[in-house]
Amino acid sequence: MIQINGLKKQYRSGETVVQALRGVDLEIQNGEFLSIAGPSGSGKTTLLNLIGCLDIADEGSIHIDSVDIAEKTRKELALLRREKIGFVFQSFNLIPVLTAYENASFPLSLLGVTEKELHERTVKIMQEVGLEEMMHRKPAELSGGQQQRVAIARALIKSPDIVLADEPTANLDSETGQDILDLMEVLNAKHNTTFIFSTHDQMVMDFAHRLVRLHDGLIHSDELTRRAAGGTKVGSRG
Amino acid sequence: MKFLVNLAFKNLFRHKRRTMITSIAIAVGLALFILIDSMLVGIEEDSTRNLVLYETGSARIMDAQFWEEHENLPLKHSIDNPQPILEDLEAAGIDAAPRTVFRGELIMQKDPYPESGSIQAQITAIDPQRDPQVYLIDESISAGRFLKEDRLEAVVGAWLAEDIGAQVGYPLTIVTRTKEGFFQTIDLEIVGLANTPNPVVNRTGIFIPIKTADYYLQMDGSVTQIDTSFPYQADIKKQTSKIRSVALEDRPDLTIVDWKILGKDFVALAAAKSAGSKVILFLVFIIAAVGISNTMLMSVYERIREIGMLRALGMRRHEIRLAFLIEAGGIGLIGASVGVLIGVLLNIPLVNNGIDYSALMRDADMGYRITGIMRGLWSTATILTAFFTGVVLSVLMAFIPTRKALKLQITDALRYQ
């Protein structure tokens, strides 16, 4: 479970101070399929970065499985990301010199699993994302959708507790974007991994089971969508 | 670790052309380093050998006063009765030869010379029997023959002969002063031309028999110097001490000076040229270093987002740094291997055949005691230094941009354009 309390973060851009988050409280249960939505500058990416231990909050706290990440050292945070958090980026961020197989298996190399296990798990995840026939292609030889599938495979291969995806469909056409969201939803159900993705695209919001809307660094609304089991609205702010 | 090596290796070929250009820059730098060093060391070795074997001997015994005023060659401060010294040295197994060096004016008359005229010259009177124990002038006669004792004849440096239009059989008149300072004229015949590997001897050398000089200069058996020879690699201090204890204990008026002092102009020049050449080598390395630095800078900066991604996925800074350093080391390894290979291949003909600079050396005095062919010398230390410098330099050059890129916040790195 992720417990966020009174989270604040500001950036300095030249002389201007930007209040990215002004006090966010949020609780995310394990296995949720949650979208953080809002216009540009609303604080979506900042919130994802803080949950992903990529940045440090100015105020407030984030507890992941009851552990306050503010108390972790830089090394411990790196290990936490290595073991428990998967990332999917808007522009895929694959390593161009590595094949799809090598890109997907990279997190396992960091965890030091055996060659045999690495191979078995990589082949399995590549099958799950539907790229078993293209494992040995390099990113440049894959379409945008296929590259994002590799990125999802890379995020999921280590069986993380949380997958954070920052606008995962922004660089894809709507059909491919829908395929990717379908895939994420299937994998969320299959692995019971918490998926948190940011977006400002209505189609993506519609895919989420829970939708958290941010506006000017504050949570504007927080509700279960029609896709969620039961479809009950769980609350709103602002 | 395997992943890091794999990643570094693959990144090495991410931009093949860039890697190739940088590797070539390193290779050219290192090949030049090997060749220039080989040539410098070879020239210095040859020059030293030619200085000792044709010009100074290993060490010289002189009257202390003569040494003090040696630029004026004062015959009055010569070594009286050199025979016991020569005998003592011979008994101790030290090769030695007496010489008398004096100044004079060479007078040339038209027919047989092309033009009438005169030039100032330094004449060396040598013992034709003993001199070959110390010097190799006798083996360098290119025309005519070597000197015979007690005759009115001269051997002239081949280049000097060419300059004044002299040939074997031509008369040579020397106007000089005796030991007591009286004018004296010596009429000689040129019997041989010496073409040695030492340009100074070829350009200025005039040799006459010592007995002839003794008679005309009224030396009464005295000589200006006794030149000695000891093995080239021998310890100079030990050898001069030995000579002192063997032959000079009861001659406090005499002093002994080794070739490093006698040839100090050359030694200083060699040191200066060596320093100058090191500056050139340093510049060559700077060029290679700039190449590597530029490549690594571009490699690192175009991959800042990738670095951000790697860190986001839990890769630690030192692991990423290691991957970049391995990559830079790989470029260095390729460049160093090719550079050493090219350097070694080009050095083979340089060592075996050398480069013929005779036309240049004939007309220009570069200070080195070599007449034309400059030969290289093998140096394992230089080759190893070149190789490891190439690799280490590459790694060092990658360190700074990598460090800078890794200092960025992960979020800034991920946003980097």
Alpha-carbon distance B135 to B226, whole Å? 12
CB contacts of B308 in chain A (<8 Å) are: 93
Report yes or no on B258 lying in a domain. Answer: no
A63-96 pLDDT, tens digit per residue, is 999 899 999 998 999 999 999 999 988 888 899 9
Mean predicted lDDT score pLDDT of chain A: 88
List Cβ neighbours of A217 (8 Å cut-off, separation of 6 or more). A9, A19, A20, A21, A22, A23, A24, A42, A43, A46
Q: Per-residue pLDDT for A235 more than 50?
A: no
Contact criterion met (CB below 8 Å) for B303 and B14: no
Of A49, A55, A81, the CB nearest to B314: A81
- What is the b/e burial string over B247-281, where b = at least 16 CB atoms within 10 angstroms of the residue's CB? bbeebeebbbbbbbebbeebbeebeebeeeeeeeb
Report yes or no on A180 lying in a domain. Answer: yes
Nearest residue of B to residue A105, measured between CA atoms: B3
Report yes or no on A97 lying in a domain. Answer: yes
Of B6, B10, B313, the CB nearest to A82: B313
Report yes or no on B259 lying in a domain. Answer: no
Work out the average pLDDT over B30-40: 86
Percent of chain B with pLDDT over 70: 97
Alpha-carbon distance B12 to A56, whole Å? 34
What does each C-alpha distance from A55 to A72, B321, B365, B407, B411 come to in angstroms?
12, 21, 70, 14, 7
Query: H or E element: which one contains A164?
Result: strand A162-166
Q: Are B45 and B73 in the same domain?
A: no
For residue B113, how many other CB atoms are within 10 A of its CB? 17
Q: Are B82 and B198 in the same domain?
A: yes
B-contacting residues in A 53-72 (Cβ below 8 Å): 54-55
Alpha-carbon distance B209 to B106, whole Å? 16
Asked if B313 lies within 8 A of A102 by C-beta distance, the reply is no
Q: Name the token pair of B415.
A: 């946003």
Q: Are B41 and B85 in the same domain?
A: no
What does each C-alpha distance from B215 to A113, B86, B105, B209 come to in angstroms?
98, 20, 18, 10
Q: Are B46 and B70 in the same domain?
A: no
Report yes or no on B240 lying in a domain. Answer: no
Work out the average pLDDT over B276-282: 76
CA dihedral A209, A213, A218, A222 (to 10 degrees): -40
Q: Name the token pair of B134.
A: 């110390």
Q: Per-residue pLDDT for B143 more than 80?
A: yes
Q: Are B45 and B96 in the same domain?
A: no
- Which segment of A76-85, A122-131, B2-11 scores lowest on mean pLDDT? B2-11
Counted domains in chain B: 2
Output DSSP code: residue B40. Answer: H
Q: Are B122 and B224 in the same domain?
A: yes
Nearest residue of B to residue A114, measured between CA atoms: B2
Write the ipTM: 0.88
Q: What is the pLDDT of residue B397?
A: 84
Q: Per-residue pLDDT for A229 more than 80?
A: no
A-contacting residues in B 375-414 (Cβ below 8 Å): 409-411, 414
Longest dimension (CA), chain A: 54
User: How far A150 CA lies from chain B's nearest CA (Å)?
Assistant: 14
Work out the average pLDDT over B361-381: 75
Report yes or no on A18 lying in a domain. Answer: no
Q: Name the token pair of B178.
A: 């005796």
Q: Are B296 and B332 in the same domain?
A: yes
Report yes or no on B126 lying in a domain. Answer: yes
Report yes or no on A47 lying in a domain. Answer: yes
Q: Are B359 and B283 in the same domain?
A: yes
* Higher-scoring residue by pLDDT: B36, A134: A134
Q: For residue B325, what are the domain limits?
A: 2-51+266-415
Asked if A55 lies within 8 A of B315 by C-beta distance, the reply is no
Chain-centre distance of CA B57, in angstroms?
17
CB contacts of B319 in chain A (<8 Å) are: 110
Q: What is the pLDDT of residue B362?
A: 66
Among the listed residues A57, A72, A62, A52, the one whose alpha carbon sits nearest the alpha carbon of residue A25:
A62
Contact criterion met (CB below 8 Å) for A81 and B313: yes
**Residue type (1 letter), B407:** K
A102 touches chain B (CB under 8 A): yes
A92 touches chain B (CB under 8 A): no
Contact criterion met (CB below 8 Å) for A11 and A17: yes
Q: What is the pLDDT of residue B363?
A: 67
The CATH number covering residue A220 comes to: 3.40.50.300
A81 touches chain B (CB under 8 A): yes
Of A52, A79, A95, the CB nearest to B312: A52
Q: Are B18 and B68 in the same domain?
A: no
User: How far A11 CA lies from chain B's nearest CA (Å)?
Assistant: 11
Burial class for A40, CB neighbours closer than 10 Å (0-12, 13-18, 19+): exposed
For residue A115, how many other CB atoms are within 10 A of its CB? 10
Report yes or no on B190 lying in a domain. Answer: yes
Nearest residue of A to residue B16, measured between CA atoms: A97
Q: Name the token pair of A68.
A: 């306050």
B10 touches chain A (CB under 8 A): yes
User: How far B16 CA lies from chain A's nearest CA (Å)?
Assistant: 12
Asked if B313 lies within 8 A of A95 by C-beta distance, the reply is no
Of A75, A87, A97, the CB nearest to B312: A87
Q: For residue A88, what are the domain limits?
A: 31-54+74-224
Q: Are B23 and B90 in the same domain?
A: no
Q: What is the pLDDT of residue B268?
A: 79
Q: Per-residue pLDDT for B153 more than 90?
A: yes
Contact criterion met (CB below 8 Å) for B89 and B109: no
Q: Per-residue pLDDT for A236 more than 70?
A: no
Contact criterion met (CB below 8 Å) for B229 and B134: yes
Q: Are B64 and B189 in the same domain?
A: yes
Task: Give chain A's length.
Answer: 238
Of A80, A93, A110, the CB nearest to B306: A93
Work out the average pLDDT over B385-406: 86
Report yes or no on B270 lying in a domain. Answer: yes
Chain-centre distance of CA B262, in angstroms?
15
A1 touches chain B (CB under 8 A): no
Report yes or no on A237 lying in a domain. Answer: no
B338-362 pLDDT, tens digit per residue, is 999 999 999 999 889 888 776 666 6
B161-193 pLDDT, tens digit per residue, is 999 999 999 999 999 999 999 999 999 999 999
pTM of the model: 0.73
Q: Are B157 and B39 in the same domain?
A: no
Helix residue ranges, H only, B199-303: 199-204, 210-216, 236-247, 259-262, 264-301
User: How far B26 CA lies from chain A's nearest CA (Å)?
Assistant: 24
Asked if B14 lies within 8 A of A97 by C-beta distance, the reply is yes
Report yes or no on B241 lying in a domain. Answer: no
Q: What is the pLDDT of residue A231?
A: 45
Counted domains in chain A: 1
Asked if B315 lies within 8 A of A82 by C-beta distance, the reply is yes
Asked if B414 lies within 8 A of A82 by C-beta distance, the reply is no
